[in-house]
Structure 1
């Protein structure tokens, strides 16, 4: 059975952010992840998060790079022409958080398509930004990832299929980058999550949620029992992030 990490940005939303660590521990998780650990999103300071991780004896295994002005519609900056300086300016803050929290890997959101479709210009900006960021993170002892997100939940997201993300990844001039595979997002884009063997060597982290509703496995149509067996068969040793809102009580540990 894979190792599961609670995504405390989506799970336990009935509790303030800083109280969700204790809920994750109570439910049997040994690790957590979050989307954005920054106070603008969590209402918690870096010191408060570090203290709670230590108090609950939890490991934080993932968070995202700074996504831009989220409340104004940004969904990442890496593929956004004209905003390269902003992307680079915020990386130092992301590194500070990751190092203080002991987070080994960081996910980069590409941003939105311009004119409704991917373009060679945005590809070039994305590849250049990722090449630069991968080098900076490697120097800091951290790993970089990119993620494809479905365009139903996030209309216009630039990377929205596995193959598209892999093609970008292969053009980045670094070996310090991998693919964050979100089974929920790829299922929503019509991909078969049981057909990932060919790309498994490029996957650095996995996330899950069921469909419909983006709730825990077993509440919808996605074949997660077979998916978890497949991960065992493929000897996947990374974490699986539970990035869903809770509908029923999940128990992965019985």
Structure 2
């Protein structure tokens, strides 16, 4: 059976963020992930992990001005120095928190005519990030995101992401396979998991189309979990969904799976 990590940016919204660690542990999670750690000190977050016996699975590098609508800066021309500083900050946190995965968001593409320029910046920045992360034992992840949730995002398809990884050629650069985003944009998840497995560095789940619990909606996760097991995936699967009601009550899918 796969190993599941609670995404604390979405789960347990009734709790203050720092209290979500204990809530996740109480529900049997052994690991957590979230979007960004930077509102808190690394030591403060490490203490929450230690107090609750949790592993840090993943977080994102700084995304630019999130409140102003930015969704990453890795492909944005003119932001290279800011991107490099963000990579350094993320690696400092990872050293304390112990995670070996950092997601680097590509950013928004303002005009399709600019794709070539943005891609050149993206490739250069990813090569830099992978090189910096290698000595820390960290894998850098890129993630295709659907354009319904994030209009204009630079990276949308799994094959597009895999091609970029191959172009960069770093063994510690992988693709984050979010089943929710992939189903909305492409579908055919089983075949894509099998096709791209060697290049997949992290997996996330949510129900489609409403991004609620994975037992709601059109995806057959029981079957997908069998495929993921058959492929030999040993990493964490991030539960990155918006609970339809109470988070703990909504985890019946996980309790049944464990049973």
TM-score (norm 2): 0.93
Runs of 4+ that moved beyond 6 A:
none
Matching of residue 47 in structure 1 with residue 43 in structure 2: yes
**Secondary structure class of the residue paired with 2:118:** helix
| Structure 1 residue aligned with 2:251 | 250
Return the offset for 1:117: 6.1
The one of 133, 156, 162 equivalent to 2:158 is 162
Structure 2 residue runs of 5 or longer lacking an equivalent are none
Matching of residue 139 in structure 1 with residue 135 in structure 2: yes
Matching of residue 20 in structure 1 with residue 20 in structure 2: yes
Higher helix share: 2
The one of 95, 118, 121 equivalent to 2:91 is 95
**Once the two structures are superposed, what CA deviation does each residue of 1:209-239 show, in whole Å capped at 9, x if it has no partner?**
0012211111111111110011111111111
| Structure 2 residue aligned with 1:208 | 205
Structure 1 residue runs of 5 or longer lacking an equivalent are none
Partners in 2 of 1:203 and 1:212 — Cα distance? 23
CA contact 2:157–2:186 (8 Å) conserved in 1: no
CA contact 1:181–1:205 (8 Å) conserved in 2: yes
| Structure 2 residue aligned with 1:31 | 31
Q: How many residues align?
A: 250
Partners in 2 of 1:139 and 1:229 — Cα distance? 34
CA contact 1:116–1:156 (8 Å) conserved in 2: no
Return the offset for 1:93: 1.0
**Secondary structure class of the residue paired with 1:236:** coil
Partners in 2 of 1:192 and 1:118 — Cα distance? 30
**Secondary structure class of the residue paired with 2:177:** strand
Return the offset for 1:141: 2.0
**Secondary structure class of the residue paired with 2:85:** helix
Partners in 1 of 2:62 and 2:187 — Cα distance? 28
Return the offset for 1:47: 2.2
CA contact 2:143–2:161 (8 Å) conserved in 1: yes
**Secondary structure class of the residue paired with 1:219:** coil
CA contact 1:144–1:178 (8 Å) conserved in 2: yes
Matching of residue 75 in structure 1 with residue 71 in structure 2: yes
CA contact 2:5–2:32 (8 Å) conserved in 1: yes
